[in-house]
Amino acid sequence: MATPHDSSEKLVPNDVDTYAHYAEGIDPARYFDSQAHDVLVAARQRWPLLAAVLHGEDGLSVER
């Protein structure tokens, strides 16, 4: 399958949205984006004080 050259394709936030852009009938809201979750977990582990100040105890656990 040839992929169209879109100047805004680098602005797509994750793989699920990118796939939905190229394949008809895919609803990105129905898929879990594990990349975004992994980034969130890594950021909370790297900057726990900042995460606590910005988000407080919002129920999102971080694996340690």
- Tell me which residue has tokens 């129905």: 30
Cβ pair 19, 26 in contact under 8 A: yes
Report the predicted TM-score, pTM, of the whole model to 2 decimal places: 0.47
The three-state secondary structure class of 47 is: coil
Give the whole-angstrom CA distance, residue 35 versus residue 14. Answer: 7
N-terminal to C-terminal alpha carbon distance within the chain: 41
> Where exactly are the structural domains of the chain?
15-55
pLDDT over 60 (residue 60): no
pLDDT over 70 (residue 8): no
User: What are the tens digits of pLDDT across the range 25-49?
Assistant: 888 888 887 887 888 899 999 999 9
